């Protein structure tokens, strides 16, 4: 349908609107998503899901009470590239997982929302969430987190390095992650196991190929993905639409319990580097 609204309230009052996509600055996610949920709308919320885990819990509880579909818009999880990795992990092709290495850095200090603490700015929630989320997909929830970083004069994180460990299903594994909004890093991801490793080239969170490398140096590479960059958002949108059509409350590929666990990990990382947003 074609429609325009003078306010969010007008939008939410329209019974023709079944679902809402929240893609505002992180500082507004909880308030806007909660309003949509309370209006009985299904809601897709951009990553990072909220400013913190407390806000995430509020949204999850509200969605359960209203019996609407709620999902984090971490589009990487729904790409064909990620499905290939999922199958490799499920089949045990990599052997015992040992080391995960991921980074995401872009020079974005000129962007107002990135440097404004009132808008929940900083590298972590906008860029670092990608390697943190992908490491959660591969290894699960970490039991130990060690982080260090540098802050801007305004008090948001300019760059952060993270070491995550203590995984229940992968006791020897460590995730070595980094993020910065002051430089353009390789933006790659690697999953290294005892029998093989997976390499995701730049930009690892977009559509692309998967390279499987064996210890002897031989390798296999998946076919090129016909989708380019943000064309890949179609997979996330289609998955969410199917959840709504099927009457499902959450995604089996990115359940709300994992979204909450990721937010708790991000909270701990921010705490260790000293980032706190106004009103928290």
pLDDT at residue 105, rounded to an integer: 98
Under the banding of pLDDT at 50, 70 and 90, the label for residue 76 is very high
Residue 18, classified by CB atoms within 10 Å of its CB into exposed (0-12), middle (13-18) or buried (19+), is middle
Q: Could you read off the pLDDT of 43-71 as tens digits, one per residue?
A: 999 999 999 999 999 999 999 999 999 99
- Residue indicated by tokens 């490793």: 197
Which tokens hold the place of 237? Answer: 């949108």
Under the banding of pLDDT at 50, 70 and 90, the label for residue 2 is confident
Q: Sketch out the chain's domains with CATH numbers.
A: 76-233+262-273 (3.30.360.10)
Q: Could you read off the pLDDT of 217-262 as tens digits, one per residue?
A: 999 999 999 998 999 999 999 999 999 999 999 999 999 999 999 9
Cβ partners under 8 Å of residue 84, min gap 6: 210, 222
Cα–Cα distances in angstroms (integers) from residue 81 to residues 57, 76, 209, in the given order: 30, 8, 6
Query: Is 1 a residue whose pLDDT tops 90?
Result: no
Q: Nearest to residue 23, comparing CAs of 265, 236, 184?
A: 236
Under the banding of pLDDT at 50, 70 and 90, the label for residue 78 is very high
Query: Is 145 a residue whose pLDDT tops 80?
Result: yes
Backbone angles phi, psi at 249, to 5 degrees: -85, -25
Q: Could you read off the pLDDT of 15-27 as tens digits, one per residue?
A: 999 999 999 999 9
Under the banding of pLDDT at 50, 70 and 90, the label for residue 3 is confident
């Amino acid at each position: 349908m074609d429609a325009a609204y003078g306010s969010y309230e007008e939008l939410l009052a329209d019974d023709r609107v079944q679902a809402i996509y929240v893609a505002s600055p992180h500082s507004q996610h909880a308030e806007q998503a909660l309003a949509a949920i309370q209006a009985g709308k299904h809601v897709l919320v951009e990553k990072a899901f909220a400013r913190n885990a407390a806000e995430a819990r509020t949204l999850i509880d509200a969605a359960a009470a209203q019996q609407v579909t709620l999902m984090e818009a971490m589009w990487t999880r729904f790409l064909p590239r990620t499905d290939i990795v999922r199958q490799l992990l499920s089949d045990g092709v990599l052997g015992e997982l040992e080391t995960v290495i991921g980074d995401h850095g872009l020079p974005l200090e000129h962007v107002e929302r990135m440097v404004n603490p009132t808008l929940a700015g900083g590298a972590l929630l906008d860029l670092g969430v990608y390697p943190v989320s992908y490491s959660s997909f591969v290894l699960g929830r970490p039991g130990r987190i060690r982080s260090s970083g540098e802050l801007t004069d305004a008090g948001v994180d300019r760059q952060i390095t993270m070491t995550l460990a203590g995984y229940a299903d992968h006791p020897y594994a460590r995730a070595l992650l980094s993020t910065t909004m002051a430089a353009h890093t390789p933006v790659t991801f690697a999953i290294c196991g005892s029998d093989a490793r997976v390499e995701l080239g730049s930009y690892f969170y977009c559509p692309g190929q998967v390279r499987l490398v064996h210890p002897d140096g031989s390798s296999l590479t998946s076919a090129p993905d016909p989708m380019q960059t943000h064309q890949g958002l179609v997979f996330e949108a289609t998955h969410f639409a199917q959840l709504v059509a099927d009457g499902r409350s959450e995604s089996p590929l990115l359940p709300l319990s994992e979204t909450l666990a990721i937010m708790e990990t991000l909270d701990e990382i921010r705490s260790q580097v000293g980032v706190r947003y106004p009103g928290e």
